[in-house]
Amino acid sequence: MAFYGSAKGASFEDQIRLLHTAEVKGSEEYYVLIAQAREHGLNDLADAMQANANEDAAHGGRYASMLGEGVSAEDAIWDRARAFWQAEASARPALQSIADKVRAAGRDDIADAIEDTIPEEEGHAKRLEAVFKAHGKTLK
């Protein structure tokens, strides 16, 4: 049985909603704390929290799907992934212009942190590209 939409209108919908909120909020709060732990050099704590946050985010996604968020048809999933690819692949100019603005305001450190994300965003696009290619799917 597919999970998609299965909790919508069910007698346990409220419980799934509670789980969804707890997982999504929890993972978001983890990610904030991870950034702060790294600033203090607490990399082992940050790594442990990052592993937990990744799993909690995935739990939240599964509950969201049960609640009917997102899409179910395979073609629609590829379409959503394509939109993500487009955003990732075109992120550089927008990020660079924000970094430039921050640098002009005198915060080289923040500008550097933003610029550090640019190759990662391009890596996200490349990761998706490889899967599209493996499935013989076009990106546009």
Note the residues at the interface with Fe ion (CB under 5 A): 23, 56, 59, 88, 121, 124
Q: In angstroms, give the least distance from the CB of 117 to Fe ion.
A: 8
Please say which residue, 20 or 102, places its beta carbon nearer to Fe ion. 20
**What are 16's two structure tokens?**
């799934």
- DSSP secondary structure string, 32-70? HHHHHHHHTT-HHHHHHHHHHHHHHHHHHHHHHHHTT-S
What are the backbone dihedrals phi and psi of residue 46, each rounded to the nearest 5 degrees, phi first?
Answer: -60, -45
Please say which residue, 56 or 115, places its beta carbon nearer to Fe ion. 56
**What are 41's two structure tokens?**
């050099």
Please say which residue, 12 or 84, places its beta carbon nearer to Fe ion. 84
CA 48 – CA 118 distance, rounded (Å):
25
Please say which residue, 37 or 53, places its beta carbon nearer to Fe ion. 53
Q: In angstroms, give the least distance from the CB of 135 to Fe ion.
A: 20
Q: In angstroms, give the least distance from the CB of 64 to Fe ion.
A: 13
CA 130, chain centre distance (Å): 18
Q: In angstroms, give the least distance from the CB of 114 to Fe ion.
A: 13
- Per the rule left: phi > 0, alpha: psi between -120 and 50, beta: everything else, 60 is alpha
